[in-house]
Structure 1
Amino acid sequence: MIKEEQLDNMLYEKMQKEYDLFLEKIKSEQSVKPNQAIESAYEIVYKQDILYCFEDDDLNLSYKEKKHLLSKKRPLEFLYQEWLATDCTHMQMIRDCIKDSTGHDLELTQKQKQKNREER
């Protein structure tokens, strides 16, 4: 039986290799299709983020779950496709950030305008 630490390393290395090959493919396609990197930017970022999650092992995946991922031919692609199906929470976080930031900035701007009026 493989030790859990070895399993973690094997899974991470497999996914890192998959990510590196993915980037190489995009780079090689640029000569044929110059906008390929731009069109692939979302996929690049989220595959990288998925990979980062495996660097710290904060996922608390079970041994069986890790073995299951390792058994997949392309675990990073599998997880990316799963992410695509659940992307709505990410967009809601962005919407909330925009709303909160805009509201806070508007409030500060109004306070500054009021202060300027009072100083006149």
Structure 2
Amino acid sequence: MKKILILSALFSSVFAFAQSQKPVLEQEGNLVKATYYYDNGKIQQQGYFKDGKLTGVWIAYDEQGNKKSSGEYNNGQKTGKWFFWNQKSLAEVDYANSRVASVKNWKQEAIVNK
């Protein structure tokens, strides 16, 4: 069940390319830097393509500019540790061969003034 939730978060944050604004594409050496925007002008996500495949670090943000997810692609496949943030928790997902290998969750503990 955790893997399904994490995968749905991944798809909503990393592949949320459907917006009305066109992405900004910039050539940087042999890479293409892609920046996608929300309608409010804030960055939705940013990362790189190489030979038409996702590569390097991709970072996604919410509409207020807070980081939602961060992870790395290698030749179009998810690799290594990915992090997913929300207001109350952080999830760390390890990928091996573009598949979920493990999931760790941390919840923000309520701070009570005594």
User: Is TM-score (shorter-chain normalized) higher than 0.5?
Assistant: no
Q: Comparing both structures, which one devotes a greater share of its residues to helix?
A: 1
Shorter-chain TM-score bucket reads: under 0.3
Given the two structures, how large is their TM-score scaled by the length of structure 2?
0.27
Q: Comparing both structures, which one devotes a greater share of its residues to strand?
A: 2
Q: Which has the higher contact order (CA 8 A, sep 6+)?
A: 1
